[in-house]
């Protein structure tokens, strides 16, 4: 597409953006969307002229032009609980048996009052650990075990879109942590927004 060097600035007036803004990714990107309409060559009309000639055809054009929304503070904050559990002395099935750990985690999710929507647990074979996740309507629980080191990573994240799920997440996290009985837990709590 070639544009004449002395072209009119009707599109600039229509959109209120300069060529420099268009080229630097301004919220309105007519250079991309209007490439076939706004050439300012002898055989094409500019967008502003086309809009004036056929306003009914162009009335919904703004729906396809991306306009950057003002920053809005998120109302649904979340809580992310993270644990590195060292020195775990627990039932060996929690460290080695994927189906046992999955059933245990899902039972703890239900007891905490959270909603499981799916899960996947994988065992790394004889003597190997387990990795698993329970997907929650509120977010997720993930767990990874290293039986050879007595080490477990635990991750519980909940959002608070329709209700405050912090107490439920804390209960879930504490129940699972207690089952592994770590001698040296390293715990982190992160507010997510």
Q: Give me the active site residues, please.
A: 139, 144, 159
Q: In Å, how far are 72, 109, 154, 156, 171 from 178, measured between CA atoms?
A: 39, 14, 12, 14, 10
CA distance 174 to 191: 17
In angstroms, how far is the first alpha carbon of the chain from the final one? 44
Sign of the alpha-carbon torsion through 148, 150, 153, 154: positive
- Please give the order of strands across the beta sheet that includes 182-192: 116-123, 130-136, 139-146, 151-159, 78-88, 182-192
Sorted by sequence, the CB contacts under 8 Å of residue 107 that are 6+ apart come out as: none
Q: Are 158 and 114 in contact (CB under 8 A)?
A: yes
């Amino acid at each position: 597409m070639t544009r004449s060097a002395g072209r009119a600035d009707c599109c600039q007036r229509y959109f209120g953006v300069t060529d420099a803004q268009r080229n630097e990714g301004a919220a309105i990107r007519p250079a991309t969307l209007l490439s076939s309409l706004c050439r300012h060559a002898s055989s094409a009309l500019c967008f502003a002229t086309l809009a004036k000639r056929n306003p009914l055809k162009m009335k919904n054009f703004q729906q396809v032009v991306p306009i950057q929304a003002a920053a809005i503070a998120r109302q649904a904050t979340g809580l992310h609980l993270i644990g590195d559990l060292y020195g775990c002395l627990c039932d060996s099935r929690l460290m080695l048996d994927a189906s046992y750990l999955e059933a245990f985690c899902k039972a703890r999710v239900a007891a905490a009052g959270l909603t499981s929507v799916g899960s996947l647990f994988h065992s790394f074979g004889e003597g190997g650990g387990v990795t698993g996740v329970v997907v929650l309507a509120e977010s997720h629980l993930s767990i990874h075990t290293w039986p050879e080191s007595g080490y477990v990573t635990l991750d519980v994240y909940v959002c608070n879109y329709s209700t405050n799920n912090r107490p439920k997440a804390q209960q879930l996290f504490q129940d699972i942590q207690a089952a592994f009985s770590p001698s040296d837990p390293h715990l982190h709590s992160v507010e997510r927004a």
